[in-house]
Structure 1
Amino acid sequence: MKVKAVETEQELQQAYSVRKEVFVEEQNVPLEEEIDQYEADSTHFLLFINDKPAGAGRFRILDGIGKVERICVLSSARQKGAGKAIMDGIEEYAKQQEISKLKLNAQTHAIPFYEKLGYEVSSEEFMDAGIPHKSMAKIL
């Protein structure tokens, strides 16, 4: 299992492909909501298992705080530490950027996963793309 920051157009397309499979096909998020205006301003991450893309995520800096977004793992790679590997890679990148606080909007079913990684709920429940979410934050 290897996580890396996207460096090429091919890797970016692989990240989009993973995101489309998870969010658009599995969760019925409209494509125009999934691929949005923040793509160019983000650092994208890919998780590889046996040299094949199996997970993705992205990271942006907003007002000095790191925003973790679009964390996803293909169904075939779930429950194997892939999500944690992606988050570890993004957190390491954030530290290199001298970012000390991260925030994210978690689908409510994923809150226990993020809590195990040290994130704390920081908002009431809200809807995003028809899916219930809560904001979470972590000090690095």
Structure 2
Amino acid sequence: MQVKVVETKHELEQVFQIRKKVFVEEQHVPIEEEIDQYEKEAVHFLLLHHGDPAGAGRFRIVDGKGKAERICVLPEMRGSGAGKAIMEAIEEYARSQNVPALKLNAQVHAIPFYEKLGYKVVSEEFMDAGIPHKTMLKEF
């Protein structure tokens, strides 16, 4: 597995295809909510497995902290360490940007995954795109 910062239009299209498959098709998030106004300012990450796109995520700086967003892995790659690899790449990038912490809005079912990576819940539950979430934070 390899996680890389997206550098080409083709790689960005691969990221969007993965996100559409996971969030729009699988989780029924409306496409207009999934692809948003922050795409151009975000740094996108693409997970490749044997050269094939298998996962994605993005990073932005919001209110002086790093924010990991749109973390997703294709169904056939779940449980393989793919999500952890994406998060480690985003954390490494976040540290290179000298942000003091990384936050994310985790779907409630994914909270145990993020807790294993050192994130702590810092909010009450809220709904986003019809899915329950909680904000999580990891300080560096």
Instruction: Determine if the TM-score, normalized by the shorter chain, exceeds 0.5.
Output: yes
Residue aligning to 1:125: 125
Residue aligning to 2:89: 89
SS in structure 2 of the partner of residue 102 of structure 1: strand
Distance, in Å, in 2 between the alignment partners of 1:97 and 1:125 is: 29
Gaps of 5+ in 2: none
Residue aligning to 1:109: 109
User: How many equivalent residue pairs?
Assistant: 140
Moved more, 97-106 or 65-74: 97-106
Deviations 1:48-88 (A, max 9, x none): 00000000000000121001100000001000000000000
Please provide the CA RMSD for this pair. Answer: 0.5
Gaps of 5+ in 1: none
Residue aligning to 1:45: 45
SS in structure 1 of the partner of residue 133 of structure 2: strand
Distance, in Å, in 1 between the alignment partners of 2:128 and 2:63 is: 22
Q: Percent of counterpart pairs with the same letter?
A: 69
SS in structure 2 of the partner of residue 48 of structure 1: strand
Distance, in Å, in 2 between the alignment partners of 1:63 and 1:126 is: 20
SS in structure 1 of the partner of residue 118 of structure 2: coil
Distance, in Å, in 2 between the alignment partners of 1:92 and 1:102 is: 11
Distance, in Å, in 2 between the alignment partners of 1:127 and 1:119 is: 20
Residue aligning to 2:78: 78
TM norm structure 2:
0.99
